[in-house]
Structure 1
Amino acid sequence: MITFDALTKQYGEQLALDHVSFTVPAGTVTGFLGPNGAGKSTAMRILLGLATATSGAATIAGRRYVQWPSPARVAGSMLDADAFHPGRTGRESLTLACLTLGLPSSRVDEVLELVGLTTREGRRRVRTYSLGMRQRLGIAQALLTDPSVLVLDEPANGLDPQGQRWLGDLLRDRAERGCAVLLSSHQLSEVERLADRLVVIAAGRIVADDTLARLQAAHGDITDFYFEVTSAHDRAAA
Protein backbone atom coordinates (compact mmCIF):
# COMPACT_ATOMS: atom_id res chain seq x y z
CA MET A 1 0.00 0.00 0.00
CA ILE A 2 1.05 3.58 -0.72
CA THR A 3 0.03 6.22 1.82
CA PHE A 4 0.18 10.00 1.57
CA ASP A 5 -0.47 11.54 4.99
CA ALA A 6 -0.96 15.32 5.17
CA LEU A 7 1.88 15.72 2.69
CA THR A 8 2.88 19.36 2.29
CA LYS A 9 5.58 20.91 0.13
CA GLN A 10 6.41 24.58 0.05
CA TYR A 11 8.87 26.35 -2.25
CA GLY A 12 9.43 29.76 -0.74
CA GLU A 13 5.95 31.28 -0.63
CA GLN A 14 4.54 28.83 -3.18
CA LEU A 15 2.54 25.96 -1.70
CA ALA A 16 2.97 23.08 -4.15
CA LEU A 17 1.23 20.47 -1.98
CA ASP A 18 -1.29 21.35 0.71
CA HIS A 19 -1.92 18.50 3.20
CA VAL A 20 -2.33 15.84 0.51
CA SER A 21 -3.77 12.62 1.97
CA PHE A 22 -4.85 9.47 0.12
CA THR A 23 -3.97 5.80 -0.14
CA VAL A 24 -3.30 3.40 -3.01
CA PRO A 25 -4.45 -0.01 -1.78
CA ALA A 26 -2.76 -3.20 -2.91
CA GLY A 27 -4.59 -4.77 -5.83
CA THR A 28 -5.74 -1.49 -7.39
CA VAL A 29 -4.79 0.76 -10.27
CA THR A 30 -5.20 4.29 -8.92
CA GLY A 31 -5.19 7.20 -11.34
CA PHE A 32 -3.61 10.41 -10.01
CA LEU A 33 -5.24 13.05 -12.16
CA GLY A 34 -4.87 16.79 -12.42
CA PRO A 35 -3.83 19.62 -14.72
CA ASN A 36 -0.17 20.34 -15.39
CA GLY A 37 1.40 21.98 -12.35
CA ALA A 38 -1.22 20.62 -9.95
CA GLY A 39 1.39 18.83 -7.79
CA LYS A 40 1.30 15.26 -9.11
CA SER A 41 4.99 14.97 -9.97
CA THR A 42 6.04 16.68 -6.73
CA ALA A 43 4.07 14.16 -4.67
CA MET A 44 5.52 11.22 -6.59
CA ARG A 45 9.07 12.54 -6.29
CA ILE A 46 8.66 12.85 -2.52
CA LEU A 47 7.26 9.32 -2.39
CA LEU A 48 10.36 8.01 -4.18
CA GLY A 49 12.84 9.93 -2.04
CA LEU A 50 13.79 12.40 -4.79
CA ALA A 51 12.45 15.44 -2.92
CA THR A 52 11.86 16.29 0.72
CA ALA A 53 8.47 17.16 2.19
CA THR A 54 7.99 20.31 4.21
CA SER A 55 5.69 18.33 6.48
CA GLY A 56 3.63 15.16 6.42
CA ALA A 57 4.74 11.85 4.99
CA ALA A 58 4.59 9.57 1.97
CA THR A 59 5.20 5.88 2.71
CA ILE A 60 5.22 2.47 1.05
CA ALA A 61 3.93 -0.31 3.30
CA GLY A 62 4.50 1.91 6.31
CA ARG A 63 8.07 2.98 5.51
CA ARG A 64 9.54 5.90 3.64
CA TYR A 65 11.19 4.80 0.39
CA VAL A 66 14.71 5.41 1.68
CA GLN A 67 14.06 3.33 4.78
CA TRP A 68 13.75 0.11 2.78
CA PRO A 69 17.02 -1.90 2.60
CA SER A 70 16.57 -2.23 -1.18
CA PRO A 71 13.87 0.26 -2.22
CA ALA A 72 13.85 -0.68 -5.91
CA ARG A 73 12.93 -4.26 -5.00
CA VAL A 74 9.77 -2.93 -3.33
CA ALA A 75 8.75 -0.12 -5.68
CA GLY A 76 9.34 0.09 -9.41
CA SER A 77 9.02 3.52 -10.95
CA MET A 78 9.13 5.52 -14.16
CA LEU A 79 9.08 9.29 -13.81
CA ASP A 80 10.92 10.28 -17.00
CA ALA A 81 11.08 8.24 -20.20
CA ASP A 82 14.05 10.37 -21.32
CA ALA A 83 16.22 9.34 -18.34
CA PHE A 84 18.09 6.65 -20.32
CA HIS A 85 21.51 7.36 -21.85
CA PRO A 86 20.80 7.96 -25.55
CA GLY A 87 24.04 6.25 -26.64
CA ARG A 88 23.27 2.94 -24.95
CA THR A 89 21.02 0.27 -26.37
CA GLY A 90 17.83 -0.63 -24.59
CA ARG A 91 19.35 -3.96 -23.63
CA GLU A 92 22.50 -2.30 -22.23
CA SER A 93 20.37 0.07 -20.15
CA LEU A 94 18.43 -2.80 -18.60
CA THR A 95 21.56 -4.93 -18.11
CA LEU A 96 23.22 -2.12 -16.14
CA ALA A 97 20.10 -1.83 -13.99
CA CYS A 98 20.22 -5.59 -13.34
CA LEU A 99 23.86 -5.37 -12.27
CA THR A 100 23.04 -2.51 -9.91
CA LEU A 101 20.12 -4.40 -8.38
CA GLY A 102 21.87 -7.77 -8.20
CA LEU A 103 19.48 -9.39 -10.65
CA PRO A 104 20.36 -12.10 -13.19
CA SER A 105 20.88 -10.82 -16.74
CA SER A 106 18.19 -13.26 -17.92
CA ARG A 107 15.66 -10.85 -16.46
CA VAL A 108 16.40 -8.45 -19.35
CA ASP A 109 14.88 -10.76 -21.95
CA GLU A 110 11.89 -11.40 -19.72
CA VAL A 111 10.94 -7.76 -19.28
CA LEU A 112 11.67 -6.83 -22.90
CA GLU A 113 9.19 -9.50 -23.96
CA LEU A 114 6.74 -8.36 -21.30
CA VAL A 115 6.65 -4.79 -22.64
CA GLY A 116 6.61 -5.80 -26.31
CA LEU A 117 10.11 -4.73 -27.38
CA THR A 118 11.66 -7.18 -29.83
CA THR A 119 15.21 -8.53 -29.66
CA ARG A 120 16.13 -6.27 -32.58
CA GLU A 121 14.61 -3.22 -30.89
CA GLY A 122 16.45 -4.04 -27.68
CA ARG A 123 19.74 -3.81 -29.59
CA ARG A 124 19.00 -0.36 -30.97
CA ARG A 125 20.41 2.83 -29.42
CA VAL A 126 17.91 4.62 -27.22
CA ARG A 127 18.44 7.78 -29.28
CA THR A 128 16.67 6.05 -32.16
CA TYR A 129 13.62 5.10 -30.07
CA SER A 130 10.26 6.75 -30.52
CA LEU A 131 8.61 8.19 -27.40
CA GLY A 132 6.38 5.13 -27.20
CA MET A 133 9.40 2.81 -27.28
CA ARG A 134 11.12 4.82 -24.55
CA GLN A 135 7.97 4.54 -22.47
CA ARG A 136 8.00 0.76 -22.90
CA LEU A 137 11.68 0.67 -21.93
CA GLY A 138 10.98 2.73 -18.82
CA ILE A 139 8.16 0.40 -17.81
CA ALA A 140 10.46 -2.58 -18.44
CA GLN A 141 13.00 -1.15 -16.00
CA ALA A 142 10.24 -0.49 -13.44
CA LEU A 143 9.25 -4.17 -13.67
CA LEU A 144 12.74 -5.64 -13.34
CA THR A 145 12.39 -6.59 -9.67
CA ASP A 146 8.77 -7.74 -9.98
CA PRO A 147 7.88 -5.09 -7.36
CA SER A 148 4.78 -4.96 -5.19
CA VAL A 149 4.34 -1.25 -5.95
CA LEU A 150 4.45 0.58 -9.30
CA VAL A 151 4.70 4.37 -9.61
CA LEU A 152 4.36 5.65 -13.18
CA ASP A 153 4.26 9.26 -14.36
CA GLU A 154 2.32 9.75 -17.63
CA PRO A 155 3.01 6.16 -18.79
CA ALA A 156 0.71 6.32 -21.84
CA ASN A 157 2.48 9.31 -23.46
CA GLY A 158 3.53 8.41 -26.98
CA LEU A 159 1.63 5.11 -27.05
CA ASP A 160 -0.72 4.44 -29.94
CA PRO A 161 -4.22 3.00 -29.23
CA GLN A 162 -2.86 -0.55 -29.39
CA GLY A 163 -0.10 0.39 -26.97
CA GLN A 164 -2.58 2.01 -24.61
CA ARG A 165 -4.66 -1.15 -24.59
CA TRP A 166 -1.53 -3.18 -23.88
CA LEU A 167 -0.64 -0.86 -20.99
CA GLY A 168 -4.11 -1.19 -19.51
CA ASP A 169 -3.94 -4.98 -19.69
CA LEU A 170 -0.48 -4.97 -18.11
CA LEU A 171 -1.46 -2.73 -15.21
CA ARG A 172 -4.67 -4.63 -14.52
CA ASP A 173 -2.68 -7.88 -14.50
CA ARG A 174 -0.24 -6.40 -11.98
CA ALA A 175 -3.10 -5.23 -9.78
CA GLU A 176 -4.74 -8.67 -9.92
CA ARG A 177 -1.47 -10.07 -8.59
CA GLY A 178 -1.73 -7.74 -5.59
CA CYS A 179 0.39 -4.83 -6.82
CA ALA A 180 -0.46 -1.27 -5.76
CA VAL A 181 -0.28 0.79 -8.97
CA LEU A 182 -0.18 4.60 -8.96
CA LEU A 183 -0.17 6.32 -12.33
CA SER A 184 -0.36 10.03 -12.96
CA SER A 185 -1.87 11.81 -15.93
CA HIS A 186 -3.38 15.13 -16.91
CA GLN A 187 -5.74 13.42 -19.38
CA LEU A 188 -9.02 12.11 -17.99
CA SER A 189 -9.70 9.80 -20.95
CA GLU A 190 -6.41 7.99 -20.31
CA VAL A 191 -7.12 7.45 -16.63
CA GLU A 192 -10.68 6.25 -17.29
CA ARG A 193 -9.27 3.49 -19.50
CA LEU A 194 -6.52 2.39 -17.15
CA ALA A 195 -7.64 2.99 -13.56
CA ASP A 196 -10.34 1.71 -11.22
CA ARG A 197 -9.75 4.39 -8.59
CA LEU A 198 -9.38 8.11 -9.18
CA VAL A 199 -7.63 10.77 -7.11
CA VAL A 200 -7.96 14.31 -8.46
CA ILE A 201 -5.57 17.06 -7.41
CA ALA A 202 -5.81 20.76 -8.26
CA ALA A 203 -3.61 23.59 -7.04
CA GLY A 204 -1.87 21.20 -4.65
CA ARG A 205 -5.04 19.95 -2.92
CA ILE A 206 -7.01 16.72 -3.26
CA VAL A 207 -10.50 17.48 -4.59
CA ALA A 208 -11.77 13.94 -5.27
CA ASP A 209 -10.82 10.44 -4.13
CA ASP A 210 -13.03 7.45 -4.94
CA THR A 211 -13.67 4.61 -7.34
CA LEU A 212 -14.70 5.59 -10.85
CA ALA A 213 -18.02 3.81 -10.40
CA ARG A 214 -18.92 5.77 -7.26
CA LEU A 215 -17.80 9.08 -8.77
CA GLN A 216 -19.97 8.42 -11.82
CA ALA A 217 -22.93 7.47 -9.64
CA ALA A 218 -22.53 10.64 -7.55
CA HIS A 219 -21.69 13.17 -10.25
CA GLY A 220 -22.84 11.73 -13.56
CA ASP A 221 -20.51 12.79 -16.37
CA ILE A 222 -16.96 12.45 -15.02
CA THR A 223 -15.56 14.83 -17.65
CA ASP A 224 -17.83 17.69 -16.55
CA PHE A 225 -17.12 16.95 -12.88
CA TYR A 226 -13.35 16.89 -13.46
CA PHE A 227 -13.24 20.22 -15.26
CA GLU A 228 -15.60 21.79 -12.73
CA VAL A 229 -13.59 20.86 -9.63
CA THR A 230 -10.14 21.51 -11.11
CA SER A 231 -11.17 24.86 -12.59
CA ALA A 232 -12.75 25.99 -9.33
CA HIS A 233 -9.67 25.19 -7.27
CA ASP A 234 -7.30 26.69 -9.84
CA ARG A 235 -9.32 29.94 -9.74
CA ALA A 236 -9.29 29.95 -5.95
CA ALA A 237 -5.50 29.51 -5.88
CA ALA A 238 -4.83 32.25 -8.45
Structure 2
Amino acid sequence: MSGWLDGKRALVVGAGSGIGRAVVDVFRTEGAQVAALERDPAKCQVLTEEVPEAPVVEGDATTRSANEEAVKAAVNAFGGLDVLVNCVGIFDYYKGIGDLPADVLDEAFDEMFSVNVRSQLHSVKAALPVLREVRGTIVLTESTSAYHPGRGGILYVSSKFAVRGMVTSLAYELAPDVRVNAVAPGGTLGTDLRGLDSLGLAGRSRATRRAVPTNSPPGSRSGRR
Protein backbone atom coordinates (compact mmCIF):
# COMPACT_ATOMS: atom_id res chain seq x y z
CA MET A 1 0.00 0.00 0.00
CA SER A 2 1.40 3.39 -0.96
CA GLY A 3 1.94 6.14 1.58
CA TRP A 4 0.62 9.69 1.35
CA LEU A 5 4.17 11.00 0.84
CA ASP A 6 5.26 8.55 -1.86
CA GLY A 7 7.77 10.21 -4.15
CA LYS A 8 8.24 13.28 -1.96
CA ARG A 9 11.72 14.48 -1.02
CA ALA A 10 12.09 16.15 2.36
CA LEU A 11 14.70 17.89 4.48
CA VAL A 12 14.17 17.85 8.24
CA VAL A 13 16.17 20.40 10.22
CA GLY A 14 16.72 19.42 13.84
CA ALA A 15 16.17 15.79 12.95
CA GLY A 16 18.10 14.03 15.71
CA SER A 17 15.51 13.77 18.46
CA GLY A 18 12.04 14.68 19.63
CA ILE A 19 9.63 16.09 17.08
CA GLY A 20 12.28 16.20 14.37
CA ARG A 21 13.11 12.52 14.69
CA ALA A 22 9.42 11.66 14.78
CA VAL A 23 8.95 13.58 11.53
CA VAL A 24 11.82 11.65 9.94
CA ASP A 25 10.30 8.32 10.96
CA VAL A 26 6.74 9.15 9.91
CA PHE A 27 7.80 10.66 6.59
CA ARG A 28 9.81 7.54 5.77
CA THR A 29 6.92 5.30 6.77
CA GLU A 30 4.69 7.27 4.41
CA GLY A 31 7.09 6.84 1.51
CA ALA A 32 9.18 10.02 1.51
CA GLN A 33 12.91 10.24 1.01
CA VAL A 34 14.35 12.21 3.91
CA ALA A 35 17.56 14.16 4.47
CA ALA A 36 18.58 15.49 7.88
CA LEU A 37 20.40 18.44 9.41
CA GLU A 38 21.43 17.92 13.03
CA ARG A 39 23.92 19.69 15.27
CA ASP A 40 24.69 16.92 17.77
CA PRO A 41 27.37 14.47 16.54
CA ALA A 42 26.00 11.56 18.57
CA LYS A 43 22.51 12.05 17.17
CA CYS A 44 23.96 12.27 13.67
CA GLN A 45 25.66 8.93 14.23
CA VAL A 46 22.39 7.34 15.37
CA LEU A 47 20.59 8.72 12.32
CA THR A 48 23.30 7.40 10.02
CA GLU A 49 23.08 3.94 11.58
CA GLU A 50 19.29 3.73 11.79
CA VAL A 51 18.45 5.53 8.55
CA PRO A 52 21.40 4.59 6.31
CA GLU A 53 19.72 5.79 3.12
CA ALA A 54 19.28 9.34 4.47
CA PRO A 55 21.90 12.03 3.83
CA VAL A 56 22.81 13.36 7.28
CA VAL A 57 24.56 16.72 7.59
CA GLU A 58 26.14 17.66 10.90
CA GLY A 59 25.90 21.40 11.37
CA ASP A 60 24.48 24.38 13.23
CA ALA A 61 21.05 25.28 11.88
CA THR A 62 21.48 28.89 12.97
CA THR A 63 24.07 29.35 10.21
CA ARG A 64 23.63 29.93 6.52
CA SER A 65 26.38 27.48 5.60
CA ALA A 66 24.86 24.48 7.40
CA ASN A 67 21.45 25.00 5.84
CA GLU A 68 22.90 25.44 2.37
CA GLU A 69 24.97 22.28 2.82
CA ALA A 70 21.91 20.31 3.93
CA VAL A 71 19.82 21.49 0.99
CA LYS A 72 22.66 20.62 -1.38
CA ALA A 73 22.97 17.15 0.15
CA ALA A 74 19.25 16.52 -0.27
CA VAL A 75 19.22 17.71 -3.87
CA ASN A 76 22.31 15.69 -4.74
CA ALA A 77 20.81 12.56 -3.22
CA PHE A 78 17.22 12.89 -4.40
CA GLY A 79 17.38 15.14 -7.45
CA GLY A 80 15.32 17.87 -5.84
CA LEU A 81 13.38 18.90 -2.74
CA ASP A 82 9.62 19.03 -2.14
CA VAL A 83 9.30 19.62 1.59
CA LEU A 84 11.25 21.57 4.21
CA VAL A 85 10.54 20.97 7.90
CA ASN A 86 12.34 22.90 10.65
CA CYS A 87 11.94 21.54 14.19
CA VAL A 88 14.84 23.35 15.88
CA GLY A 89 14.05 24.84 19.27
CA ILE A 90 15.38 25.85 22.66
CA PHE A 91 13.56 26.63 25.91
CA ASP A 92 13.90 29.09 28.81
CA TYR A 93 12.17 27.05 31.51
CA TYR A 94 9.61 29.73 32.33
CA LYS A 95 12.07 32.51 33.18
CA GLY A 96 10.20 35.79 33.51
CA ILE A 97 11.73 39.21 33.08
CA GLY A 98 12.32 39.39 36.82
CA ASP A 99 14.30 36.15 36.69
CA LEU A 100 16.74 37.31 34.01
CA PRO A 101 19.98 38.87 35.26
CA ALA A 102 20.54 42.19 33.51
CA ASP A 103 24.11 41.27 32.62
CA VAL A 104 23.05 38.22 30.57
CA LEU A 105 19.83 39.55 29.04
CA ASP A 106 21.44 40.45 25.72
CA GLU A 107 23.18 37.10 25.44
CA ALA A 108 20.06 35.16 26.38
CA PHE A 109 17.96 37.11 23.88
CA ASP A 110 20.45 36.52 21.09
CA GLU A 111 20.68 32.80 21.87
CA MET A 112 16.91 32.31 22.00
CA PHE A 113 16.17 34.21 18.82
CA SER A 114 19.12 32.71 16.98
CA VAL A 115 17.91 29.17 17.60
CA ASN A 116 14.14 29.62 17.49
CA VAL A 117 13.86 32.29 14.79
CA ARG A 118 17.03 32.77 12.76
CA SER A 119 17.47 29.04 12.14
CA GLN A 120 14.06 28.91 10.49
CA LEU A 121 14.81 31.93 8.32
CA HIS A 122 18.10 30.38 7.18
CA SER A 123 16.38 27.09 6.38
CA VAL A 124 13.73 28.82 4.29
CA LYS A 125 16.26 31.02 2.49
CA ALA A 126 18.47 28.05 1.62
CA ALA A 127 15.65 25.81 0.41
CA LEU A 128 13.49 28.37 -1.36
CA PRO A 129 15.04 28.22 -4.85
CA VAL A 130 14.58 24.45 -5.17
CA LEU A 131 11.16 24.48 -3.51
CA ARG A 132 9.95 27.06 -6.01
CA GLU A 133 10.87 24.72 -8.85
CA VAL A 134 8.30 22.16 -7.70
CA ARG A 135 5.73 24.34 -5.89
CA GLY A 136 6.92 22.79 -2.66
CA THR A 137 5.95 23.01 0.98
CA ILE A 138 7.48 24.58 4.09
CA VAL A 139 6.48 23.51 7.60
CA LEU A 140 7.90 25.48 10.52
CA THR A 141 7.51 24.97 14.27
CA GLU A 142 5.53 27.42 16.37
CA SER A 143 4.12 26.63 19.83
CA THR A 144 0.84 26.86 21.67
CA SER A 145 2.65 29.62 23.56
CA ALA A 146 2.23 31.83 20.49
CA TYR A 147 -1.56 31.52 20.84
CA HIS A 148 -2.13 31.05 24.58
CA PRO A 149 0.80 32.69 26.40
CA GLY A 150 1.04 32.64 30.16
CA ARG A 151 3.17 33.98 32.94
CA GLY A 152 6.96 33.69 32.61
CA GLY A 153 9.03 32.44 29.72
CA ILE A 154 9.36 35.92 28.29
CA LEU A 155 12.10 35.11 25.79
CA TYR A 156 10.61 31.82 24.64
CA VAL A 157 7.12 33.22 24.17
CA SER A 158 8.49 36.25 22.32
CA SER A 159 10.47 34.02 19.97
CA LYS A 160 7.43 31.90 19.17
CA PHE A 161 5.31 34.97 18.46
CA ALA A 162 8.07 35.97 16.05
CA VAL A 163 7.84 32.60 14.31
CA ARG A 164 4.07 32.95 14.09
CA GLY A 165 4.50 36.29 12.35
CA MET A 166 7.21 34.86 10.10
CA VAL A 167 4.96 32.03 8.96
CA THR A 168 2.09 34.38 8.13
CA SER A 169 4.34 36.77 6.24
CA LEU A 170 6.04 33.97 4.29
CA ALA A 171 2.71 32.40 3.41
CA TYR A 172 1.57 35.63 1.77
CA GLU A 173 4.92 36.36 0.15
CA LEU A 174 5.58 32.93 -1.34
CA ALA A 175 2.07 32.00 -2.49
CA PRO A 176 1.19 30.45 -4.85
CA ASP A 177 4.65 29.06 -5.63
CA VAL A 178 5.38 27.61 -2.18
CA ARG A 179 2.89 26.66 0.53
CA VAL A 180 3.93 27.74 4.04
CA ASN A 181 2.37 26.34 7.21
CA ALA A 182 3.36 25.71 10.78
CA VAL A 183 2.59 23.29 13.57
CA ALA A 184 2.09 24.64 17.09
CA PRO A 185 2.72 21.68 19.42
CA GLY A 186 1.37 21.48 22.91
CA GLY A 187 2.93 19.23 25.56
CA THR A 188 6.05 17.51 24.27
CA LEU A 189 7.66 15.79 27.25
CA GLY A 190 10.43 13.45 26.18
CA THR A 191 11.64 15.61 23.27
CA ASP A 192 15.09 16.55 24.63
CA LEU A 193 14.17 20.23 24.25
CA ARG A 194 17.15 21.95 25.87
CA GLY A 195 17.51 25.09 27.95
CA LEU A 196 19.58 28.16 27.16
CA ASP A 197 23.30 27.88 27.71
CA SER A 198 23.47 31.60 28.50
CA LEU A 199 21.17 31.03 31.49
CA GLY A 200 23.02 27.92 32.67
CA LEU A 201 20.17 25.68 31.50
CA ALA A 202 21.90 23.74 28.72
CA GLY A 203 21.94 20.58 30.83
CA ARG A 204 18.18 20.63 31.35
CA SER A 205 15.94 18.75 28.96
CA ARG A 206 12.24 18.04 28.65
CA ALA A 207 13.25 14.45 28.02
CA THR A 208 13.50 14.05 31.77
CA ARG A 209 10.70 16.39 32.92
CA ARG A 210 7.62 14.85 34.46
CA ALA A 211 5.78 17.80 35.93
CA VAL A 212 4.72 21.33 35.05
CA PRO A 213 5.45 24.17 37.52
CA THR A 214 2.51 24.87 39.79
CA ASN A 215 2.34 28.52 38.68
CA SER A 216 1.58 27.44 35.11
CA PRO A 217 -1.86 28.69 34.01
CA PRO A 218 -4.02 25.95 32.46
CA GLY A 219 -3.74 25.77 28.72
CA SER A 220 -0.76 28.10 28.52
CA ARG A 221 2.60 26.99 29.78
CA SER A 222 2.15 23.26 30.10
CA GLY A 223 2.65 22.62 26.41
CA ARG A 224 5.63 24.45 25.04
CA ARG A 225 7.80 23.43 22.15
TM class by shorter chain equals 0.3 to 0.5
- The two structures have a TM-score, normalised by structure 2, of 0.35
Q: Which has the higher strand share?
A: 1
Q: TM-score, normalised on structure 1?
A: 0.34
